Structure 1
């Protein structure tokens, strides 16, 4: 892949392939994506029908996937294929490239956090979740991952706090509601 990228760069530099002018497009795309996410998050917080909330959450997920870069999109596809095949080291190679090429793309960090979680490397997963939440504090998927790691590592109070943050963003998420109830009961029982 590096040879192909180097070859493309050489062709651009030699003038064999014209370089399109795209300076204004990413700003407009970023602004449109931000506006769309803002509206979707408002709708998600207000929605009281579980199925309708799931549809809004799916739209948020689709919007998160929009990187604005064909290269990043291709690397994300390859990483997902590697994850599906349980080739986590291969997936990490693609995801490392994504976060290097486009460090402001929260979903690249989130996917890498997921792979680290699947490999039970919680420290690296937490570091990536931290990056996701710096870029998109409303990322309920990353917050759910944080809560799962806190549960796995027996930090129930932190898990509860993370699940409560999820519910503040996505009140109708049944799994988060169940986790809050379970952890609240467990912590109340431990206090006795």
Structure 2
């Protein structure tokens, strides 16, 4: 287990266990630690591409972000966070199909990626598929019970779908 397989370190296992038991305040801290671990590719060059892409996103330059993240996924196909970052950029660009593909890749590499699951929920909501959105959100909450915004989304969707046959 070297380099890019570090996404599944024992440190992460204990962080995920803590996350399940944590109160909302502790959960926020643990979530930051998990994101921090997920952001380590094992390569300074790949970390730089991830950072450049994130900086481009922060600056509102989604096209440049997609370019950086594409370079990252090309050079480090086993690094889940590269795929997740590009999924987010595609979502911002309104390109839902490519976003879903990158989320699928993220979850293949990192099945516990609550961020990717919650992104999938947002996409299904946009596609007006509330049952699938609910499923994705609930999967995210099973991993991270205090995931910000997701609890509210589940409550909203449960209310919306209560009147329909699932």
Q: CA deviation at 1:189?
A: 2.2
8 A contact 1:113–1:125 mirrored in 2: yes
Query: Which of 42, 60, 66 is matched with 2:17 structurally?
Result: 42
Aligned to 2:119: 145
Q: CA deviation at 1:190?
A: 3.1
Aligned to 1:123: 97
Query: Which of 45, 62, 84 is matched with 1:88 structurally?
Result: 62
CA 29–107 in structure 1, closer or farther in 2 if over 3 Å, else same: closer
8 A contact 2:137–2:154 mirrored in 1: yes
CA 86–32 in structure 1, closer or farther in 2 if over 3 Å, else same: closer
Taking the TM superposition and a 5 Å limit, the aligned residue runs for 1:32-111 are 34-47=9-22, 49-111=23-85
8 A contact 2:4–2:78 mirrored in 1: no
Larger-gyration structure (1/2): 1
CA 155–108 in structure 1, closer or farther in 2 if over 3 Å, else same: same
TM-score of the pair, normalised by structure 2: 0.93
Moved over 6 A (4+): none
Unpaired stretches in structure 2, ≥5 consecutive residues = none
CA 183–129 in structure 1, closer or farther in 2 if over 3 Å, else same: same
Rounded Cα–Cα distance in structure 2 between residues aligned with 1:61 and 1:134:
17
Unpaired stretches in structure 1, ≥5 consecutive residues = 1-25
Q: CA deviation at 1:33?
A: 5.5
- Please report the RMSD computed on the Cα atoms of aligned residues, expressed in angstroms: 1.7
Q: Secondary structure at the match of 2:112?
A: coil
Q: CA deviation at 1:126?
A: 0.1
Identify the structure with bigger relative contact order (alpha carbons < 8 Å, sequence gap 6+): 2
Rounded Cα–Cα distance in structure 1 between residues aligned with 2:136 and 2:3:
33
TM-score of the pair, normalised by structure 1: 0.81
The worse-fitting range, judged by mean Cα deviation, of 68-77 and 29-38 is 29-38
Aligned pair count reads: 165
Q: Secondary structure at the match of 1:190?
A: coil
